[in-house]
Amino acid sequence: MKNLLKEKLKKGEIAIGTVVTLGHPDVTEWLSKIGYDWLFLDAEHGPMGFETLQQMMQSMNGTNCTPIVRPQWNDPVTIKRVLDIGAHGIIAPMVSSREEAENAVKACRYPSAGIRGFGPRRAAMFDPSYYETANDEILTIVLIETDAAIKNIDEILSVDGIDVGFVGFADLSLSMGLGLPPKWDEPRYLEAYDKVVKTASKWGKIAGMHTNLSNNPGNVNWAIERGFRMVTVSDSDSFIIQGARAALERAREAASKTKPGAGTQHGGLPH
């Protein structure tokens, strides 16, 4: 297999993706053709099952967009199935220790480097070199989203086989006792982001995070300027809501400038 996202990151380039929580292949088809480098398919909080995930990844065929799945948990059985249906990497939730990071790596690799059972049904269907290349090409990402993870970040990112430390902004804020929305002016919270970037650089790893399009800290400009090289920008739900709201507001504005009944013969519905 060839992981275009991993190749891009190795070159020092910035990889831009978005989060997908809508379980339908049309969504991943549209987003993958727009030009995103990767899609964060969220099976932890999203409603999609394995069959739906497979269809979503199949719809990305023929593009340079890489499918990365966040499984329900850092569980080898779940991770194995996600990889077997075609994911080019995983984002393991709630990794807070070296041992949990090591478990994520083992789940992504065939023996003797790991414990992944062999049966890459769809992943290897048209790829005769899959077994020989998968251990090197699968992208293993850990979510840094607890106070404990920040305290143990050096041990976590030192693990051989971990490619990216990805900050989960909401759970990190909750774990720190700061509540939601995150307090971007809280020094302890901001220091955590800088610590992830610094430690990732130390171990030759990538720092990633989810971003928004606001003018506040935590936006995509803020993240890239701070040193994060793997980012997601907004999410599929927000795209629909924001686009629909903008269309409705424009239509309502146009309607407000028109007198009731204008354009119809009797002032009501046309006959």
The answer to whether residue 201 is domain-embedded is no
How many folded domains does the chain comprise? Answer: 1
Instruction: Report the catalytic residues.
Output: 45
| pLDDT value of position 268 | 60
DSSP state of 55: H
Distance separating alpha carbons of residues 98 and 199, to the nearest angstrom: 14
pLDDT digits (tens, 9 = 90+) for 158-192: 999 999 999 999 999 999 999 999 999 999 999 99
> How much is the average pLDDT of 7-16?
98
- Which two structure tokens, joined as six digits, stand for 27? 């969504």
In a domain, 114, yes or no: yes
Query: How many other β-carbons are positioned within 10 Å of the β-carbon of residue 262?
Result: 8
Give the domain CATH number at 128: 3.20.20.60
Q: Is residue 128 part of a domain?
A: yes
Any domain includes 183: no
Would the pLDDT of 262 be above 80? no
Average pLDDT rounded to a whole number, residues 1-9:
97
Residue 34 belongs to what domain range? Answer: 4-139+209-254
**Do the domain assignments include residue 191?**
no
Res. 258 pLDDT band, cuts 50 70 90: confident
User: Strand, helix or coil at 114?
Assistant: coil
Bigger pLDDT: 126 or 261? 126
State the pLDDT at residue 123: 96
260 belongs to a structural domain: no
* Mean pLDDT for the chain overall: 95
Query: Is residue 233 assigned to a domain?
Result: yes
164 assigned to some structural domain: no
> What residues contact 185, with CB distance under 8 A and at least 6 apart?
217
The pLDDT score that the predictor gives to residue 263 is 60
Phi-psi region of 258 (alpha: psi -120 to 50; beta: other; left: phi over 0): beta
Percent of the chain exceeding pLDDT 70 equals 96
User: Is residue 143 a contact partner of residue 93, using CB atoms and an 8 Å limit?
Assistant: yes
Q: How far apart are CA 13 and CA 7, in angstroms?
A: 9
CA distance linking residue 130 with residue 102, whole number of Å: 22
